[in-house]
Amino acid sequence: MTTMTDASVREFKMPDVGEGLTEAEILKWYVQVGDTVTDGQVVCEVETAKAAVELPIPYDGVVRDLRFPEGTTVDVGTSIIAIDVSGKAPAEAPVEAPEAPVAAAPVADAAAEKKPEGRQPVLVGYGVAASSTKRRPRKGPEVPVQQASVSIQTELNGHGPAPADPAPTASAVPTAAAAQSRPLAKPPVRKLAKDLGVDLATVIPSGPDGIITREDVHAAVTATETPVPAPVVAQAQAPVTVPAAPAASYDAARETRIPVKGVRKATAQAMVGSAFTAPHVTEFVTVDVTRTLKLVEDLKQDKDFTGLRVNPLLLIAKALLVAIKRNPDINASWDETNQEIVLKHYVNLGIAAATPRGLIVPNIKDAHTKTLPQLAQELGDLVTTAKEGRTSPTAMQGGTVTITNVGVFGVDTGTPILPPGESAILAVGAIKLQPWVHKGKVKPRQVTTLALSFDHRLIDGELGSKALADMAAILEQPKKLITWA
């Protein structure tokens, strides 16, 4: 294997792309071994617990090694790619013949005898053997299957090929062979097999290079459910006991298991922590928003809003900001360590957004300082970025209060759980035409229900009720935005 102690080789480690993150999953590599890269070039995309992020390389040079394959979760601080900054291609770097694994030594020697002169195997990428001149398909007698499997596994573990031990005795060979024939499978597949009680050594792989896939594990579970015919036992023989097949933990034919990771895993952990830490209280108010909808239509014709997204959420967000201005103690957080309430003199307004990777809550920094057109611009950018999966970790940090619009799904309202560290979250229900008493007569009016959940350690019922009532008053009479703002 090519030595990585060369002073010309730089190791790029998984960075902490968001405050407090400890791991990230490699989603996609944009480079291969042998590619030339420049400082600032994006080499891979990773998914953290908060978002998908593209990582630029801080070096100029040639890719010497990719430490992990796509789909691997890597701890922050772990080397993920090696760059030869001398500018030499991997084939020109010093090469050492790979040390033969103990059990595979005879096979490896036989394979080496068949190689043409001048072609030594070099372990690159994920342990794949390659020619010293260019990469070739993984086939042919150049790399024995057993040796390639061992190389791939050791590369995935980040240790390189195991050093050769002294020649084993005849009794030790089977043990060494068993140790080096560890089945190949990605971490999520190993976890699935463990959950289902499947021994990977008994699974027939179908993936490339003998890698076991999720489907292979499910097939093994299904096979164990097939009844084993009892053997014929002669009268004179002792009874033969057939071990019962392990029971499957679920119906593989009618159920699917999805690993919880990335954004969804972080959301689940945060919601559990919040629900069982902050005492939640939720209050509701139903309000006539007919005038608000009329103002939305008027703003769409205003030249100051040309090209901007104007919708009811814009005015609801403004109503919340004005309510916070009138009731500033609602914008706070609880410091458990110091047993203090921290009043925030700024509002980072979070907007819950559903994305293919799960629910994220980016926030508009210093939303209280924005004019209505600026707020419309920020909301539009936030939604577009979230849908495209380009939300940065920074955009999801430091929120103080949040809005979740469940009305877009036709839901009347809900009892939302606070994002950790925030004091309040407003749920906006669907706006529907309903019979409503207006000026002493029953008329069809546009009506919605607001639900405000808040941390009862910070906010008592009076303060929460005042803030919610102020929001309702503004949405019913939008002219209060002028008199109260």
Kindly list the distances between the CA atom of residue 341 and the CA atoms of 168, 320, 344, 475, in Å, as whole numbers in the listed order: 67, 21, 10, 30
Q: Which one is catalytic: 345, 368, 438, 456?
A: 456
Beta carbons of 395 and 431 less than 8 angstroms apart: no
Region for residue 145 given its phi and psi (left: phi exceeds 0; alpha: psi -120 to 50; beta: otherwise): alpha
For residues 403, 407, 408, 411, the Cα torsion angle rounded to the nearest 10 degrees is 130
Kindly list the distances between the CA atom of residue 41 and the CA atoms of 35, 60, 65, 115, 296, in Å, as whole numbers in the listed order: 12, 9, 16, 37, 44
Tokens at residue 387, please?
């849908």
**Which residues, 6+ apart, have CB-to-CB distance to 38 below 8 Å?**
57, 60
Active site residue 345: no
DSSP 164-204: PPSPPPTTTHHHHHHHH-PPEE-HHHHHHHHHHT--GGG--
Rounded to whole angstroms, the Cα distance separating 300 from 383 reads 18
Q: How remote is the C-alpha of 184 from its chain's centroid? A: 24
Q: Give all strands (DSSP E) within 377-440, no chain letters.
A: 401-405, 424-428, 432-438
The catalytic residues are 456
